[in-house]
Amino acid sequence: MCDGFYCFNWARFVVGFGMNDGFMTIYILTLENVGAKYRTLVGNLAIAVAFTSGGALLPWIALWCGDWKFFNNVITLPFSILLLFSVFIPESPTWLLSMGKIDKGMEVLKQAARMNKKTISDEVWSNISQHYTSIYDDQKSQKTYSWLDLFKKKRRTGVILIIMVFWFIASVTYEVHIRAIFHLKADPFLVFSLSTLTELPAGIVPLVLLDRIGRKPVTISVMILCAVCSLLAVFAPTAYYEAIAGICGRFFIAISTNVREQWAAEIIPTVVRGQGMSIVHVMGCVGCLVSPLLIYTESLYNSLPMMIVTLISAIGGCIVIFLPETMNATMPSTLEEADQRWTLSVSSSSKRARKEK
Q: pLDDT per residue over 58-116, tens digit each? A: 889 999 998 888 998 888 887 777 777 777 778 888 888 877 888 888 898 898 889 88
Which residue ranges make up each domain of the chain?
A: 90-141, 147-343
Q: At residue 28, does pLDDT exceed 80? A: no
Mean pLDDT rounded to a whole number for the chain = 83
Q: Say yes or no to pLDDT of 347 above 70.
A: no
Query: In 83-153, which residue ranges form alpha helices assigned H by DSSP?
Result: 85-88, 93-98, 102-115, 122-140
What's the average model confidence in pLDDT over 238-248?
Answer: 82
Cα gap 27→30, rounded to integer Å? 5
**Orientation of helix 154-180 relative to helix 273-296, angle to 10°:** 40
Count CB atoms within 10 A of the CB of residue 112: 15
| Mean pLDDT in residue range 338-349 | 63
Q: Rounded to whole angstroms, how far apart are CA atoms 180 and 296? A: 10
Tell me which architecture the domain covering 147-343 has in CATH.
Up-down Bundle (1.20)
Nearest to 155 by CA among 282, 343, 354: 343
Smallest CA-to-CA distance from 252 within 209, 290, 288, 287 is with: 209
Mean pLDDT of all residues in 198-202: 86
CA angle 31, 37, 41 (to 5 degrees): 60
- pLDDT tens per residue across span 132-175: 888 777 766 666 777 788 888 888 888 999 999 999 999 999 99
- Among 209, 181, 184, residue whose Cα is nearest residue 196: 181
Using alpha carbons, select from 332, 322, 331 the residue that is nearest to residue 155: 322
For the stretch 128-151, what's the b/e string if a residue is b when 16 or more beta carbons lie within 10 angstroms of its beta carbon? bbeebeebbeebeeeeebebebbe
Positions of E strands within 281-350:
none
- What one-letter code names the amino acid at 338? A
Contact 328, 337 (CB under 8 A): no
pLDDT at 342: 72
Q: Confirm whether pTM is higher than 0.85.
A: no
- What is the rounded CA–CA span in Å between residue 9 and residue 51? 25
Q: What is the model's pLDDT at position 222?
A: 95
Sign, Cα dihedral of 323, 205, 116, 261 = positive
| Letter string b/e over residues 177-208, b meaning 16 or more CB atoms within 10 A of that residue's CB | bbebbeeeebeeeebbbebbbbbbebbbbbbe
Among 47, 12, 298, residue whose Cα is nearest residue 179: 298
